[in-house]
């Protein structure tokens, strides 16, 4: 028995009180509410994006914003930047954004990495950020040919610089500014000279 393939028309008819994504014609229910850390990081990222892109050609949009990559691929990334104004429709974004940010959670991390990253590469999304709220981590990928290459890894004390928008600088100490539970903080490894190799005389 063949599995039914869902399309944009199906998607538009579904109950909008629930969040759905379609990848390769298969529907995924994204309804569970994000964590407070997810939302805290996303709100701060959105604020810094809005400040940078204000008055510029490119525009930033925050979830839930429908992005129609094709008839059988409809997603709602957490944060996107669109530079082609023709892609901005009244109800959705039609085509690949220039930059996509996904704030990961335990429930969505595999979906974002295993299903959506190859989809974004195929659609031609130039840059993707994967943000892990804790342990504090941002992975920046750029499209090289048909696949993504890791361009940088950043943590809480770093300033992130976009590979595509070179003047876009993100203060990650503000993005990751949320309390931790007692006993949750990970011990940081101290940097020191490695204890191997020949000593100089």
Phi-psi category of residue 151: left, alpha or beta, with phi > 0 → left and psi -120 to 50 → alpha? alpha
Structure-block tokens of residue 41: 């990081």
Name the residue among 172, 134, 175 with its Cα closest to residue 152.
172
Q: Give residue 186's pLDDT.
A: 66
Q: Give residue 196's pLDDT.
A: 44
Q: Give residue 39's pLDDT.
A: 95
Q: pLDDT 10s per residue in the chain (201 long)?
A: 467 899 999 999 998 778 899 999 999 988 777 899 999 999 999 999 999 999 999 999 999 999 999 999 999 999 999 999 999 999 999 999 999 999 999 888 999 999 999 999 999 999 999 999 999 999 999 999 999 999 999 999 999 999 999 999 999 999 999 998 887 776 555 555 554 444 444
Q: Give residue 31's pLDDT.
A: 74
Q: Give residue 15's pLDDT.
A: 81
pTM of the model: 0.89
Structural domains of the chain ordered from first start:
35-175 (3.90.1570.10)
């Amino acid at each position: 028995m063949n599995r039914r393939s869902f399309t944009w028309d199906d998607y538009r008819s579904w109950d909008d009180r629930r969040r759905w994504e379609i990848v390769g014609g298969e529907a995924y229910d994204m309804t569970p509410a994000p964590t407070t850390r997810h939302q805290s990081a996303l709100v701060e990222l959105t604020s810094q994006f809005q400040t940078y892109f204000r008055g510029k050609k490119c525009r930033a949009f925050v979830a839930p914003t429908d992005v129609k990559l094709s008839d059988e691929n409809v997603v709602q990334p957490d944060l996107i930047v669109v530079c082609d104004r023709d892609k901005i429709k009244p109800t959705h974004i039609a085509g690949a954004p220039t930059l996509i940010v996904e704030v990961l959670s335990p429930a969505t991390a595999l979906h974002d990495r295993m299903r959506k990253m190859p989809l974004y590469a195929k659609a031609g999304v130039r840059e993707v950020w994967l943000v892990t709220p804790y342990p504090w981590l941002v992975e920046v990928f750029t499209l090289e040919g048909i696949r993504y290459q890791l361009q940088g890894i950043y943590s809480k004390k770093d300033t992130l610089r976009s590979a595509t928008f070179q003047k876009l600088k993100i203060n990650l100490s503000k993005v990751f500014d949320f309390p931790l539970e007692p006993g949750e903080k990970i011990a940081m490894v101290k940097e020191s000279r490695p204890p191997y190799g020949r000593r100089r005389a």
